Structure 1
Amino acid sequence: MRKLAASLGQTFLLLTLLALLILQQLQKQPLIDKLQDGLRLATNGLNQTRTAFGILNEPNLLPPSSVSLISVLPSITPAPIQSETQHLRQLTPTLSRAAVVVQAPQVLQIDCEGRVTDHDSFTKAGEYVHSVMNGSDGYLPRLECPPLNASRYLSLSDRTASGQKPRFFFAMNLHQSAHIIPQLLGATIEVIRFLGPEVCVVSVVEGRSTDGTFEILKSLAKQMEYLGVSYFLSCSELQPGGEGMERISTLAELRNRALWPLTQHAHLYDPSSTIIFLNDIAPCAEDLLELIHQRMVLKADMTCGMDWYNLDDGGTFYDSWIGRQMNGETFFEVPQSTSWDYSKNLFWNHETSKSRYSLGRPVQVFSCWNGAVAFTAEPFLEGKIRFRTEAEEECHLGEPVHLAKDLWKLGHGKIAVIPSVNVGYSVHDSGKAKEAHGSVSSVAANESIELSKIDWQRKPPGQIKCLGTWDHPSWEPFELRE
């Protein structure tokens, strides 16, 4: 009887596997792909069969929705990002200790209650998703990027350890960004594949878009699951500078929201984690990896690229309101007339910085953002820091400048610009920026590791240029009186 029961159990299991394969062809559920190997292994013994069916019978594991494995929360709040049963799952069945490598938990979540999906945009989203995951083979613009120099970034990708905690957190705030998503997220996905999806997390806050941005990001969830990367998508109606919404405090809140999956669950992350925060830029994968690489090599707390616009005449540095040199000045001189005549003369009154920048070497600065930044997650994990606007009697500055001030106060003042990372806010502009100012590949080819090191200045400048308005600049002491 026992042999008969075992035989019947195995027969039933094989029939179940056949049904699942048919279901996969009909619905293309990536999760089923991951269960097939487990079911195949389960035919080796009846006890293992019970384990496989235990996983298949978990409540809500295969929800009847158009997006697989996405749990929708009732509202956007800073409450726990996922519940134990619905949002934090180990996708690989533990069928036997010897047969299966334990993977980090996969988390997928869309937190966009009340966000209405536009049918036409949702229908078109597939082409964008395909471009993100596979590169462009149609009309969607993509940047011509060089193949990754794998040996240069080998130390960032450690595939030997099992059960690793996430170490790379990609954060974005996107609004009306459909035109840039193929390049921005395409480069991000290429980097994630290189680093290892199990140690990466992607968090995107979408706001008020009418160009299909939300529909594309929602449609990406299924592919993110298949890739094996933790993916968080939330929506916000906050509008920086809108009615009743002060611009800088609103931007700070949006950036903090993008970090919720990290700050609300700090224990899930490796203490050495890097946050990679990206604007709506068009980077190559090597740009993002270079920022992470230089943060490690230089032992920096933050590394920034350089962002550009007006590329017809070589380009103008974009993030001029945020960048401050080590003497507290802006990256280029802006007289009270607010003329931009001197915008090409970067690091104009700090000779060490000017020389290093002209040679393509990393430059220590007081503050930067510049479209793409990689910085230490440690003070965020410890709850010591967050994006903010000015305090009482403090100068009105951009939230990245306040972030830099707080990092310096916490002993994390090793902040550097990486001149080889040049990006624009469209595919066309990024291509022009790299032609005019260099690319990672072209600069790295002539790099001297010894000369690229930074002799870090440990003390911040005594005062910082305050630009409440460009025509009425002033100076603010770094340390305000208590």
Structure 2
Amino acid sequence: MPPSPSNSYQLLPVSSFPSMPRFARKGRHPSFPRIPLLVLILFPLSIALYILYKLALISNAFRTYEVNSPVFSEPFRGTGEEVEGRADEFPAWVTSDKNNVEVTVWNIKTELATRLQNMGLPESSVSCQGILSGQRNSPTFLESRYSHLFPLEEGDQPSPYISEPQGFYFALNLFNSKGIIPHLFQTLLTVAALLGPSNVHISIFENGSWDETVPSMAHFARALTALGVAHSLRSDSHSTDWSNVDRIEQLALYRDVAISSLIHYNPSDPPLFDSARAHKDSPHPTLPTDLIFINDVFVCPADILELLHQRRFQGASATCGMDWRVAPEGSLWGWLDGWLGENYRFYDNWVTRTIEGWPTRPRVDIFAELRDGIRELFHWDSSTSSLNRFRAALPLPVYSCWNGMIVLNALPFLPSHIPSSDPTSSATTPIKGGHDIHFRHGRTDQGECAASECKLVARDFWGVGEKKWVMVPRVAVTYREEAYKAEGDRLEVWPFYTEGPGSNSTLRHNWNQSSSHIPWEDIF
């Protein structure tokens, strides 16, 4: 055999090897670009990691409460102080024409708007449909619809829904709310004037705001005084560290401050309603019949009046509207805003449960922001009755709701017993309908699931027999002004459901749709 070359096992320099193609031979198949390849790999991977992250958060939350209760700081229990003294009284000309209520209300609203604008608050561009025609013999549709809520005038017929004096207790919690205040306060003044100033009590609690919320509240308090509405507007400078407290327990305490006059009712305290302004033909209320709790939302007078009307028409324990937001938004899909067309999504899915106990839509849905936010609701119930009523824009029964604004039977929040009017006696007097209900967090140490303070109110109401909870789809509120598009008697989001050719359904607002009773006898 011939000898092997001396360099047969010698390593060749790299330069001597032919260049290698990336994925295929040159000239036969084009090489695949690297950036699109990375996108194809990383995008689904990031989606998968996001889903796992969300599932881990949910799993950890349940494990935290079920296995090892979290350790929180004690919640803040302050009640603040009245803010009215921080603003000047309204000038005398505002209420000079006491015989003309409409002129007085207009003057008060104008003075308040001027003060808020001088503080730099934005003027609201939301327009609301008027309620009164100004002509007794030709009332508007809404005036006729809600007339049973208004104080009786000479010659009026008694309401078929009302057999006792009506007291309306409004409660709100605010925080850095200057963007919503100009519109919200005007709405409250309008509704208070319609319901009768002597029949209304407004309570607001704020804490920790650093914008113009507190001075705005002070001016609003002066406006309520000029109108003759009993009120309590309180503020506390304490700023909440939400990362260090049980969020639900703290929110429950803040809501309780707003209704403290109810849950701590005592006949020896100042009256809840200003009897000095009572209408001569209307009985004066002593106890409230309705608790109207409103979030920091854009809402028109007709929205509030419709919930009050439906609570009486349906014989309900509570009535709520629906709160909406524009989608998509959020860290994952928010960048698509403006690309996919206008879409509305129901906001308060965490609290709301159908009459069968289901959420109105799936709680975990990675593509939720891209779905039609209206068409997806009420598909979980085994019965189609809720879905049918929802799509027909009719009030429907639910287990629980809140949805930015709710009207509740006020009596269950009152104490079951109150002290005797005799200061020397230790005896107590029972209040019919009083059940000592208040806002609270879940009693996880007793096996109760963690839940929103608003959902637990529904649970406690059901526990004392207050089971008739109603969602009124035609009442639509939003948290952003641009999402609330009121044009006369129409809202963009409600109420008529139509299957359109596009990807999104359309809901039209038409107050002339006749109401329909809920068949409670078929439910309970």
- TM over 0.5: same fold? yes
Question: 2:493 is paired with a residue of what secondary structure?
Answer: helix
Match of 2:218?
A: 218
Match of 1:329?
A: 358
Number of positions where the alignment pairs a residue of Structure 1 with one of Structure 2: 335
Match of 2:408?
A: 375
Task: Using the TM superposition, give the Cα deviation of residue 185 of structure 1 relative to its aligned residue in structure 2, in angstroms.
Answer: 1.5
Alignment of 1:308-347 (within 5 A): 308-310=324-326, 313-335=342-364, 339-340=368-369, 343-344=373-374, 345-347=376-378
- The CA distance in 2 between the partners of 1:219 and 1:152, in whole Å, is 32
Question: 2:311 is paired with a residue of what secondary structure?
Answer: helix
Task: Using the TM superposition, give the Cα deviation of residue 300 of structure 1 relative to its aligned residue in structure 2, in angstroms.
Answer: 0.5
Alignment of 1:247-262 (within 5 A): 247-262=247-262
Task: Using the TM superposition, give the Cα deviation of residue 210 of structure 1 relative to its aligned residue in structure 2, in angstroms.
Answer: 1.2
- The CA distance in 2 between the partners of 1:132 and 1:190, in whole Å, is 17
Match of 1:157?
A: 150
Question: Which consecutive unaligned segments of at least 5 residues does structure 2 have?
Answer: 1-76, 83-108, 132-141, 155-163, 272-284, 328-340, 415-433, 497-506
Task: Using the TM superposition, give the Cα deviation of residue 231 of structure 1 relative to its aligned residue in structure 2, in angstroms.
Answer: 1.4
- The CA distance in 2 between the partners of 1:143 and 1:444, in whole Å, is 18
Match of 2:194?
A: 194
Match of 1:446?
A: 513
Change (3 A) 1:139 1:172: closer
Match of 1:87?
A: none
- The CA distance in 1 between the partners of 2:236 and 2:521, in whole Å, is 39
Q: Report the residue type matching 2:352 in the other structure.
A: G
Alignment of 1:56-455 (within 5 A): 129-130=112-113, 140-148=123-131, 149-159=142-152, 167-237=167-237, 242-265=242-265, 267=267, 268=271, 270-271=286-287, 273-310=289-326, 313-335=342-364, 339-340=368-369, 343-344=373-374, 345-350=376-381, 351-381=384-414, 382-391=434-443, 392=445, 393-431=447-485, 434-438=491-495, 442-447=509-514, 449=515, 452-455=516-519
Question: Which consecutive unaligned segments of at least 5 residues does structure 1 have?
Answer: 1-74, 82-125, 461-482
8 Å CA contact retained: 1:202, 1:231? yes
Between Structure 1 and Structure 2, the one with more helix by share is 1
8 Å CA contact retained: 2:170, 2:291? yes
**TM superposition score normalised by structure 1:** 0.63
- The CA distance in 2 between the partners of 1:421 and 1:339, in whole Å, is 23
Task: Using the TM superposition, give the Cα deviation of residue 236 of structure 1 relative to its aligned residue in structure 2, in angstroms.
Answer: 3.4
**TM superposition score normalised by structure 2:** 0.58
Question: 2:203 is paired with a residue of what secondary structure?
Answer: strand
Q: Deviations over 1:296-351 (max 9, x none)?
A: 11110100010011256221101011110111110112346585555441111221
Task: Using the TM superposition, give the Cα deviation of residue 264 of structure 1 relative to its aligned residue in structure 2, in angstroms.
Answer: 2.3
- The CA distance in 2 between the partners of 1:230 and 1:128, in whole Å, is 19
Task: Using the TM superposition, give the Cα deviation of residue 442 of structure 1 relative to its aligned residue in structure 2, in angstroms.
Answer: 3.9
Task: Using the TM superposition, give the Cα deviation of residue 220 of structure 1 relative to its aligned residue in structure 2, in angstroms.
Answer: 1.9
Across the aligned residues of Structure 1 and Structure 2, the Cα RMSD in angstroms comes to: 3.3
8 Å CA contact retained: 1:334, 1:340? no
Which sits farther off after the overlay, 224-233 or 326-335?
326-335
Q: Which has the larger radius of gyration?
A: 2
8 Å CA contact retained: 2:322, 2:471? yes
- The CA distance in 2 between the partners of 1:294 and 1:320, in whole Å, is 22
Question: 1:375 is paired with a residue of what secondary structure?
Answer: strand
Q: Deviations over 1:405-427 (max 9, x none)?
A: 01011100100110110111122
Question: 2:439 is paired with a residue of what secondary structure?
Answer: coil
Percentage of pairs with the same residue: 29
Q: Report the residue type matching 1:430 in the other structure.
A: Y
Change (3 A) 1:139 1:323: closer
- The CA distance in 2 between the partners of 1:390 and 1:76, in whole Å, is 21
Which sits farther off after the overlay, 169-178 or 327-336?
327-336
Q: Report the residue type matching 1:264 in the other structure.
A: H
